[in-house]
């Protein structure tokens, strides 16, 4: 039979290695989540600003009284980033996201 001390030492090394691996995995996942949230916030800001711009153009057009929808209304940023904010943000926080991102 082998030495019990060597067996316990090998077991201890394995447990410490597993613990270090788990801590590393959790750190990397936390960093990836932070990056994803930051990207979602940036995309939400862009979309909010585009919507605000479009609303102001439509309000100005309504005040002036010109016919038709102006060609200044944009949807490019919405089309680029519309899928980004949804998966990361929580459903209950979406109605009041806009004002928070502009300040």
Tell me the C-alpha distance between 33 and 75, whole Å: 28
DSSP state of 34: H
pLDDT per residue over 33-77, tens digit each?
A: 999 898 888 888 888 888 888 888 778 777 777 665 656 666 777
Q: Which residue has the higher pLDDT, 77 or 5?
A: 5
Read off the tokens for 64.
């002036």
Q: Which one is predicted more confidently, 67 or 29?
A: 29
Residue 23: which residues within 8 A CB-CB, separation 6 or more?
A: none
For the entire predicted model, the pTM comes to 0.52
């Amino acid at each position: 039979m082998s030495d019990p001390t060597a067996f316990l030492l090998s077991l201890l090394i394995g447990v410490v290695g597993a613990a270090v691996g788990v801590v590393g995995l959790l750190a990397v996942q936390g960093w990836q989540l932070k990056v994803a949230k930051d990207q979602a916030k940036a995309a939400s800001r862009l979309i909010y600003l585009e919507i605000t711009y479009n609303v102001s153009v439509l309000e100005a057009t309504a005040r002036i009284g010109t016919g038709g929808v102006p060609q200044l209304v944009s949807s490019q940023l919405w089309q680029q980033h519309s899928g980004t904010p949804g998966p990361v943000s929580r459903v209950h926080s979406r109605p009041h996201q806009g004002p928070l991102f502009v300040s």
